[in-house]
Amino acid sequence: IQATIREKDTIVVEGPLTADPKTNEPILSIRRFKKRLLEPETDPEADTSAELPVHVELHTHSHLSAMDSILSVEALVERAAKYGQKAVGITDHEVIQAYPEFYERCQTHQIKPIYGMEGNVVDITPILMNLEKRYSGAEKEFLQETWETRSFCVIDFETTGLSALRDDIIEIGAVKIFKGKIVDTFQSFVKPTVPIGETTTRLTGITEEKVREAPALSQILPTLRDFIGEEVIVGHNVNFDYQFYQQALLKTGEPLIHSVTLDTLALARSLLKMSSYTLDKVVKKLGLTEETGETVSFRHHRASEDARVTGLALIAMLEMAKKDNRVTFGDIQNLQAEIALNRLHGDSFTAFVQNKEGLKNLYRIVSMSHLEYLGKVPVIPRNLLSENRDGLFLGTGSPVSELSKAYRMGKDHSELIEIAEFYDFIEIMPSDAYTDIEEGFDEKTLREMYARFYELGHEIGLPVLFTGNVHYLDPVDHKAWSVLKISDIALHRRGQKLSSTLFDGVKLHYRTTQELLRCAEEILEDPEKAKEVVIDNPSRFIDRIELIQPITRTLHPPIIEGAEEEIKTLTLENMRALYGDNPPAVISERVKRELD
């Protein structure tokens, strides 16, 4: 075997895997092996021969991004050098351990290191939303009202996907609640304008046959609108359903309604101590029962059932609040202070260090996120980020960023501007460079989204940077990366069958300048705009960043008042106890040298 293979060859080996009887270590007994022919790597000289200046890659993940990259820091910097790039950035997920090695490798290759990180920013989601839009200056009066005097309308939609802009409603469920009881119900299937996918059918049980004779959205929406009326709209993660409702009104030419919404997900997070707040788990935690006394059972992911059970959960949680003398809407809103931030799901953002102050601030942010706000992943409260953003450049991040989610939910233009203005630059990527398959991404949606972000950046004066979202070196590394990524997903979804082709079509290799220009031109449909975001803006951006050494070679021991004298006293006392008043010269000389 050794005679037939060389360094860097790829081979496939087969044989039984057993355990060593003494050490229990796995042992593979090779029965057969073969060399594997792989497609050629991306030409590392491709960029150096290009007439255009070279792109600077800013968004890369090393193997220190847990279960998300197979790229070593050494290989990353070497590739940047081969491509003739004058700088390279590193943006590992939630961690910055790569910085010392990253600095040394960049020094060796005379490349400017750009220190970054991809983090997760969290906000406390208000339990009650849209107060300003609904009451316009009279919010205080509403918050002083007793919630028992109000009716609620719980809504739930089953949809063809997660995007309110692109996907359709296929089932509507709603119930009205007054004085702790369900007083009316509404249910209807809706005929969609797009096909129902296999995933949706598997999740909901709704097939094309069930909706074939259903009313169109334009036919059923006026009835739903009348049913909701002026009531407070309730839902479990109500923002999802409310955005679909708003987009449905826009699509059918109906006037928009600004209703106050109440989120039972946020309410549950404030009242119940749990590790997960899915509707079925909240129902189980509350111990809900029917009027007959039987435990509530329901078909999750069916609109009518989800709306009914969400209504029952609302009634139970409002009763819990009432026992604590929380009887007004203001009391309910104030419950949000009880929400544990580390139980929230963060939105992606990118941070780059501009100077030494920024490096210190990033160290502080990372330390706090791991020590104070560690849940499934470390999260960063927005106020912590805002208070420590001096010396940092903050970007809108990956396809699961705050801005991206707002776009896919159908938030209006003014809301997108408000979100984007928090950041220092807008980040866009190739339309096939994504990893979060559960978000329902496709290349067409991402192209449209990034084109919109480019225009948004120009409108509010933010630079737009095109990055590659690098997770491995060459296209041939895709399979190894996908095995790692699928394994990570499988760890969190035990029992769920995952296809080995799950990430086919996703491309996260270290692309050349020409590759990125082609990707950007597909999105922006203009070679000049592509050059602007791929070459010009990243080059100007790195010129604003100082050359920083992340860790100096000088030791920085802690300074503790009186510690030096205490150590000296203890040492001399112990020496006297062991060797008397006249210790051997070799002992006394050694002690003196150590103390000095």
pLDDT band at 494 (very low <50, low <70, confident <90, very high): low
- Examine the fold and report which residue of 338, 363, 398 is the final residue of a domain before the chain moves on: 338
52 found inside a domain: no
Q: Are 347 and 391 in contact (CB under 8 A)?
A: no
Residues 329 and 387 in one domain: no
- Mean pLDDT of all residues belonging to the chain: 90
Residues 455 and 364 in one domain: yes
Q: Are 72 and 98 in contact (CB under 8 A)?
A: no
Residues 212 and 330 in one domain: yes
Q: Are 534 and 466 in contact (CB under 8 A)?
A: yes
Q: Structure tokens of 537?
A: 């803006």
Q: Are 453 and 466 in contact (CB under 8 A)?
A: no
Residues 262 and 372 in one domain: no
Asked whether residue 467 carries a pLDDT value surpassing 60, the answer given is yes
- Examine the fold and report which residue of 338, 355, 370 is the final residue of a domain before the chain moves on: 338
Q: Which residue has the tokens 């940047």?
A: 80
Q: Structure tokens of 403?
A: 């801005």
How many folded domains does the chain comprise? 3
| CA distances in angstroms from 219 to 37, 154, 223, 226, listed in the order given | 58, 21, 8, 13
pLDDT, tens only, 171-193: 999 999 999 999 999 999 999 99
Residues 134 and 95 in one domain: no
| Cα dihedral across residues 563, 565, 567, 573: positive or negative | negative
Residues 333 and 351 in one domain: no
CATH number of the domain enclosing 378: 3.20.20.140
Instruction: Give the length of the chain.
Output: 596
Indicate the residue type of 270.
Answer: S
Q: Structure tokens of 226?
A: 């009348």
pLDDT, tens only, 89-139: 999 999 999 999 999 999 999 999 999 999 999 988 899 999 988 888 888
16 found inside a domain: no
Residues 179 and 322 in one domain: yes
Residues 464 and 478 in one domain: yes
Give the pLDDT score at 40: 45
What are the beta bridge partners of residue 464?
426
Give the pLDDT score at 22: 80
Neighbour-count burial of 22, counting CB atoms closer than 10 A to its CB (0-12 exposed, 13-18 middle, 19+ buried): exposed
- Among the listed residues 172, 127, 180, 128, the one whose alpha carbon sits nearest the alpha carbon of residue 312: 180
Q: Structure tokens of 35?
A: 């060399």
Residues 388 and 532 in one domain: yes
Which 8-state DSSP code applies to residue 191? B
62 found inside a domain: no
pLDDT band at 41 (very low <50, low <70, confident <90, very high): very low
Spell 486-513 as b/e; 16+ CB within 10 A means b: beebeeeeeeeeeeeeebeebbbbbbbb
pLDDT, tens only, 222-262: 999 999 999 999 999 999 999 999 999 999 998 888 899 99
Residues 534 and 584 in one domain: no
- The 3-state secondary structure of 105-169, one letter per residue: HHHHHCCEEEEEEEEEEECCCCCEECHHHHHCCCHHHHHCCEHHHCEEEEEEEEECCCCCCCCCE
Asked whether residue 371 carries a pLDDT value surpassing 70, the answer given is yes
Share of the chain above pLDDT 90, in %: 71
Residues 109 and 209 in one domain: no
- Among the listed residues 51, 309, 73, the one whose alpha carbon sits nearest the alpha carbon of residue 173: 309
Share of the chain above pLDDT 70, in %: 93
Asked whether residue 410 carries a pLDDT value surpassing 50, the answer given is yes
1 found inside a domain: no
15 found inside a domain: no
Q: Are 457 and 523 in contact (CB under 8 A)?
A: no
263 found inside a domain: yes
- Residues with Cβ within 8 Å of residue 483, at least 6 apart in sequence: none
Whole-structure pTM value: 0.79
Asked whether residue 566 carries a pLDDT value surpassing 60, the answer given is yes
- Examine the fold and report which residue of 338, 373, 402 is the final residue of a domain before the chain moves on: 338
**Alpha helices by DSSP H, 496-596:** 513-524, 527-531, 537-543, 563-579, 585-595
Angle value at C-alpha 410, between 172 and 526, nearest 5 degrees = 140
Give the pLDDT score at 451: 97
Residues 132 and 261 in one domain: yes
Indicate the residue type of 42.
Answer: T
CATH number of the domain enclosing 173: 3.30.420.10
Q: Are 106 and 113 in contact (CB under 8 A)?
A: yes
pLDDT, tens only, 45-60: 455 444 668 999 999 9
Q: Identify which of 335-339, 342-346, 351-355 has the greatest average pLDDT.
A: 351-355
Q: Structure tokens of 112?
A: 């400017």
- Residues with Cβ within 8 Å of residue 239, at least 6 apart in sequence: 125, 129, 261, 263, 409
CB atoms within 10 A of CB 188: 17
Q: Are 538 and 513 in contact (CB under 8 A)?
A: no
449 found inside a domain: yes
- Residues with Cβ within 8 Å of residue 394, at least 6 apart in sequence: 349, 350, 351, 385, 422, 423, 424, 425
262 found inside a domain: yes
**Domain enclosing residue 571, as ranges:** 563-595
